[in-house]
Structure 1
Amino acid sequence: MKKLLPLFLFQLLLLSTLFAQTTIKGKVTDRKGEALPSANVFVKGSYDGATSDLDGNFTFKTSQKDTATISASFVGYEPFEQKIKLDKPIVEVSIKLEEAMNVLNTVTITAGTFEASDSKKMVMLKPLDIVTTAGGGADITAVMQLLPGSQRVGEQEGLFVRGGSASETKTVIDGMIVQNPFFSSTPDVPQRGRFTPFMFKGTAFSTGGYSAQYGQALSSVLLLQTKDKTDNASGWNLNANMAGIGATYTHKGSVSGSVYYSNLSPYFNLIQSNIIFDKMPQGFSTSLTVNENLTKNSSLKIYGTYTDNQSTILFPSYEEVGTKYRFDLKNRNVFTNGSYQVNFDEGRWILQTGLSYSHNTDKLTIGGNAGDRLDERTQVRAVMTRLFGRNNASSVLFGTEFHAIKVGNVYNQYDFRLNENYGTAFVETELYITPKLAGRFGLRSEYTNVIDKANIAPRISLAYKTGQYSQVSLAAGQFYQTPEKNYLYLNQNLDFELANHLILNYQIIKNDRTFRVEAFRKDYKDLVREYTTFYDPNPYRFPIGKTDNSGFGYAQGFDGFFRDKKSIKNGDFWFTYSFLDTKRLFRNYQQEATPTFASKHNFSVVYKQFLEKISTNVGVTFTHTSGRPNYDFATTSFLPIYMKPYQNVSLSASYIKVIKGNFVVFYASLDNIFARKNVFGYRYSADGKQRFEVTPPVYRTFFLGISMNLSKQLSKPKEADLEN
């Protein structure tokens, strides 16, 4: 009997506990009242709980007393918690879950923007994409020309976007405008960009409708974000190619320095060139990068570079067949860019500040006449961002920046100089109104002393999620730009030039496939117009006529883009098509006409394949651009002369190997493999009686190089580096 007593007491205690349990029941739904089956519902801090059935209903018992915290979770929805009183035998709870705001299911602003970073759902291109694209030459701008909305203009550098000239696109690094993103301009010879793609963790190419944070660009901005510090690796990187040799040393992932010497003599000794060099292009550059996480909440980035380049080319004089003139160029460029970022209040507040300085001088001798080009820019910038809403998905930011710019042109007895100070203020908010609807609303104001004018530019973007993988976006706004310096030298009573953008976009991303189509309309107002008695097509001419802001124009059309990284194992291909209808009355045009830098049809196909067995990437690119219009010297009718279409087929290959613990890449490229004789335009003699074709420097090019890391820490790239 004594042995049975404890067992009896235990059973009595168990029964009393069971009789004291409370039943919790209810239903789990979304915000529209639709049932959510298989949701997990439980009492926080206990094992009491259940899973909702097909109708969203649940029921379970708990032995907790007085109060309890009910928790619920469901994939794709925000966690739910609610405190309840256990004062009845049966307690009913109604649970409504809100759809989670995350990168997988939240709508994103896409109209007018191609992202190339790892931070958003709409990833398009990454640094590795850029350097492995045939025909791109590992140049950021050249590869961007293979995306919809832009086109390749072979006789000058820059991004030409949707009927806009190169001067209408600005390059921005960490929020700071780059005064000289390309090497110094040479007549009819396009120049590369100054920066390597692997400097940046992301690239956003705007085809219009861009954020209120940026301005002074009628058409687009190329946004580049430098990499963050990710490791403490140290080591050397050596590279050599047909254009030069270079070395970079990185110390603990924080500080890196590089030197590079270029000389194109070996290259042009192997291929036939359409250019006659009296002195082969050669130069020296060095750079220093500091990237440090000062605290867990703050970081500092500093980048500085110095380049010194020179060349001498014998150009056709366009006066008589066979006559030439010397064009001597000596360029020195200094560029520094520093940014500091700190977040506080658990990351809800973010302060970003920046300071940049650039100084560029070109010493020129043109046909025996001395001339100089010089420019200098100092910029300071500060932006404060406040994150709010579920998962801090929404934000509001406000900022300001100031620019001090000095430009000048000296040619014989002419000495033109200009000092411009302009300041801006902007505010912008990005709201996730629902998981399916997002909006970005911005306002930007600018003032410049050079024309003593101010402007206010409203901008808006909306995006709506039409399905699990698809969405539509709309963007509209006003975009101002100060007139080009050659006009301001002679007339500082001009006003801002203006472009109004309207963009409609549809995009679907599913199973590593992307389809995107975008329609646009761009209206130009207050363009600078020069009144002359005849039309001179020389793009390097200096204004001679009276100027005002009576110019106008439009650009409209649509783009298509498809990319597939799924269908072919280890394969990746994309194709783009752009249709453009545009006319303008501006510069010294005598009537409204299609600009000479605009083509109606642009088409490109890019294919890449990784051959796993031999560790080699191969790629091919085909580009087709319909003929651009040209107009005869002194024409009054402005009837276009269309050039033949531009076509190019290019190949690239890179072989990856580890040699004694060091990561080595051998790379090669062949551009315009069929040596098609593309023509980019015409130049005329002074009397207009003779016309000369503008052709590429080389019809067919090939390029070889090697890059090697001499540190085991750096011998193999991280997966994140390849992905980003």
Structure 2
Amino acid sequence: MKKIIVIILIFFFNTVFSQNNIVRGKITHGKKSLQNCNIYVANTILGTVSDQDGNFELVLKKSNIPIKIIFSHVGYQEYYVEDTFENLTSKAISVTLVEINNLNEIVIFSDKKVKAGYISGLSALDLITTPTALGDAMTAISTSLPGNQIDPNDGRFFVRGGDHYETKIFINDLNVHTPFNTNGPSLPNRGRFSPFLFDGIAFSAGGFEAEYGRALSSVLLMNTKPSPVKNETELSIKSVGLDAGISRILTKNISLTGTLDYTHLGPYRAIFPSRYKWNEDYNTLASEIGTIINLKNGFFKSYNKYDQTRLDYDRNDFGFGRIINTRIYEKNFYSNNSLNLTFNDTFKFYSGLVYSNNQRDIYGIFSDQDNSFVTDKLLHFKARGEYNFHDIKLKLKVGLEHFFNTYYINYVDHFTSNQFINKTDTNTSSSFMDVELKISNKLMLKTGIRNDYTDRLNENVYSPRVRLNYEIIPNLTISPYYGVYNQSPQNGHLIFDFEKNLKSERAFQQGLNVFWNKDKRLIYVDAYKKEYKNLVKYDFAANGTSPSNFNNLGKGYANGVDVFFWDRKSIDNFEYRLSYTYIDAKRDYEDYPGLSYPGFYSKHNASVVTKYWAEKIRSLISISYIYSSGNPYTNPNKTGFNNSFTKPYNSLNLSYSYLLSNNLFIYSSISNILDFSNIASYDYTRNPNTDGVYEEQEILPSSDQFFFIGMFYKFGGTKQIKNKINEINN
């Protein structure tokens, strides 16, 4: 009996003590309650978020010095309360946040933001539940945001007439050198990073700042998640593999996250066969570890990932007239480390360091007897300072960065007994400056310039940018812009440029952007004109594998319009996104005989994504449709280069998420539910038949449809899965 009384007393005192450590309150804007407001104690990892009614509870640690609690919500001015521990826990706090003028930042929905010239708004759950994504963040972006030429048979970004290498991807403002896994012919490339890793995503198809350089067409900015406020564990069992993740608070200021992921398509192929014979189906093993250290004036983030990919399959090459065996063994290590310091409301400092090491051992790409071993290493250092001159409403950002890139290749063609071994080192030193001047409450000037010196090219280039944001009426902003963009040639080109003739490729882009955002509705229209100069050209030898005579005589153009509409207001628990891209683009580059449509070009690209949260059956239902007007290819039975087009690409896709409990949900998706017969391209015999005709064969995707099902379970954390799903509709 005494033991029971002691247990009851301990429980009572612990309950009273914990209650006395809690600060409670409500956050509003006018009469509106603010959901998902970030509330945290300065210089610690203690934090929480407000619920759908704006209420919150925050556990404090007793302190003899004043405690500063910060209230942060995108679209509203940051607010803080600083008081003693006793005063904060003795009564409820009422906080009213004030909206920020649109010209300071454009708010799309809830806690999702962009700056002028960027499209954002996709959370991790948005990405994973987009039916076209099939669990891949990069695919969700490339098939549902404007500016992209949809090419599901490739999977990489082709933006505004630009090739895939013209898009640069940044994590925590640092370069991602190899964002996609390597794949064989007729297989789509998949992104290397999990969508659940990221807290914010912004995509720009043009007009981005000078800070993000060495990109001709577009940039994708992604930020990793902040410190967890509670320990949590996530497990998932999928039709293509398993993965697990943990988040742990180690000390008051240090947190740790880790994941382990294994993907293998072998069991899936046993049920849903492929058009290819798989000797070893596509499989990856990946591990991630990250840490966040909160400092007195900021925080340090470190994210590290290692993954290895293997595949081995046989495909029928109609041109060679035989089966070709393709094997790929890839290892990739990526380490991203950044330091963010805020000294006051006038000055911020950032520095970061990235190391990337990618090794690829590839067999059977050009023929059934070739082997290519590649090592691609990058070291990227960056530092910048941000100054805010409040009296003249001027923001200044200046920075320096350096890229060390080493590329090595050992290529053997066993059919011809030719071997090619070479290595190239490329060092680029860069500086940049971005200026933002608020001329009035309705007019803002953004301008910047970037300088890059590359020793391998022996070249110094400048890239100026300018944008004017003018708020015509409340919620409607018009932005004319102009920019010059420079990018070093691809490593695959530099390695063969023995005479060192190559210089930077260039693009000149101008456009007019109209942005309207009100009451969870958004309209984005961007008309642009782009001119390419100094594109890389070369000649091929008779065997088709030895390029030579490299130069910068290539050119091209791209004109078009991007349209995006997002509505989350008209119907309760329902949202839809409409995206359309029209483009007219030609280029003369690589071994093209003249100005022609590039192989990735499609004039019309459109997508529709719909999502409905059915509360009564605890389900999220999503339907999407993507359309592409077809890609050019060369039919040798006709005159000219890229003289024909494939038939349009169509795919209607469905996904269904069922919430079994607040910690467990099942996600399933089916691509191309109407079973459209989509053709990637055509292949032809090397020589004509007796009638003088080159025989034709369709190049089809490895499978017409893809089925995915996964079960996701979460232990702990501050947000239940139901609340995360509800964020899609709020």
* TM-score bracket relative to the smaller structure: 0.7 to 0.9
- Which residue number in structure 2 is paired with residue 171 of structure 1? 169
**Contact 2:496/2:547, CA 8 A, preserved across alignment:** no
Which residue does 1:190 correspond to in 2? 188
TM-score by length of 1: 0.80
- Tell me the SS of whatever aligns to 1:150: coil
Which of the numbers 102, 105, 120 marks the counterpart of 1:106? 102
Give, in angstroms, the shift of residue 77 of structure 1. Answer: 14
Task: Give the superposition deviation at 1:275.
Answer: 2.2
Among 142, 145, 152, which residue is 2:139 paired with?
142
Asked if 2 retains the 8 angstrom alpha-carbon contact of 1:115 and 1:123, the reply is no
Structure 2 counterpart of 1:615, from 618, 630, 635: 618
* Partner of residue 51, structure 1: none
**CA RMSD after TM alignment:** 2.7
| Distance (whole Å) between structure 2 residues aligned to residue 249 and residue 230 of structure 1 | 10
Match of 2:702 in 1: 697
Contact map agreement 1:674 1:700 (CA 8 A) in 2: no
| Contact persistence 2:130–2:622 (CA under 8 A) | yes
Q: Is the CA contact 2:108–2:114 (under 8 Å) kept in the aligned structure 1?
A: no
Instruction: Mark the CA change 1:716 to 1:516 in structure 2 (over 3 Å): closer, same or farther.
Output: closer
SS at match of 1:589: coil
CA spacing shift, 1:77–1:582, aligned 2, 3 Å: closer
Distance 2:552 2:98 in 1: 47
Which amino acid in structure 1 is aligned with residue 560 of structure 2? G
1:485 alignment partner, one of 484, 491, 500: 491
Contact 1:615 1:655 in 2 (8 A): yes
Q: 1:678 to 1:615 in 2, by over 3 A?
A: same
Where do 5+ consecutive residues of structure 2 fail to align? 1-74, 78-96, 413-418, 689-693
Q: Given the alignment of the two structures, is residue 519 of structure 1 paired with residue 527 of structure 2, yes or no?
A: yes
Q: CA deviation at 1:712?
A: 6.5
Cα–Cα, structure 1 residues 520 and 77, in superposed 2: closer, same or farther, change >3 Å? Answer: closer
Q: Give the TM-score normalised by structure 2.
A: 0.79
Give identity over the alignment, percent: 29
Aligned partners of 2:386 and 2:138: how far apart in 1?
30
Question: Quick one: which amino acid aligns to residue 236 of structure 2?
Answer: N
What secondary structure does 2:295 align onto?
strand
- For 1:708, the aligned partner's letter is Y
Instruction: Give the number of aligned pairs.
Output: 612
- The alpha carbon displacement at 1:685 in A equals 4.0
Equivalent residue number for residue 128 of structure 1: 125
CA distance in structure 1 between the aligned counterparts of 2:101 and 2:269, rounded to whole angstroms: 52
1:63-102 mapped onto 2 (5 Å cutoff): none
1:155: Cα distance to partner?
Answer: 2.8
Q: How does 1:570-649 map to 2 (within 5 A)?
A: 570-633=573-636, 637-638=640-641, 640-649=643-652
Pair 1:230–1:259, CA change in 2 (3 A): closer
Superposed counterparts of 1:86-485, under 5 Å: 104-107=100-103, 118-120=112-114, 124-145=121-142, 146-231=144-229, 233-252=230-249, 254-295=255-296, 297-319=297-319, 321=321, 323-344=322-343, 346-366=344-364, 367-389=368-390, 394-412=394-412, 413-485=419-491
Map 1:33-72; keep pairs closer than 5 Å. none
Provide the rounded CA distance (Å) in 1 between the counterparts of 2:110 and 2:193: 16
Do the aligned residues in 2 keep the contact of 1:109 with 1:461 (CA within 8 Å)? no
Are 2:553 and 1:553 equivalent residues in the alignment?
Answer: no
Which residue is equivalent to 2:85?
none
Find the aligned partners of 1:533 and 1:411 in 2 and give their Cα distance: 16
**Structure 1 contact 383–399 (Cα < 8 Å) conserved:** yes
Aligned-partner SS, 2:268: helix
For 2:258, the aligned partner's letter is: G
Q: 1:239 to 1:261 in 2, by over 3 A?
A: same
2:507 corresponds to 1:499: yes
Task: Label 1:162 to 1:362 Cα distance change in 2 as closer, same or farther (>3 A).
Answer: same
Cα shift at 1:114:
9.5
Task: Note the C-alpha offset of 1:263.
Answer: 1.5
Q: Distance in 2 between matches of 1:515 and 1:417?
A: 48
* Matched-pair contact (CA < 8 Å) for 2:486–2:507: yes
State the 1:104 CA deviation.
4.3
Give 1:317 shift: 2.8
Deviation at 1:185, TM superposition (A): 2.8
Q: Which residue of 1 aligns with 2:71?
A: none
- Residue 589 of structure 1 aligns with an amino acid whose one-letter code is Y
Note if contact 2:105-2:113 (Cα within 8 Å) is conserved in structure 1: no
What residue identity is the alignment partner of 2:632? P
> Post-superposition shift, 1:207?
0.5
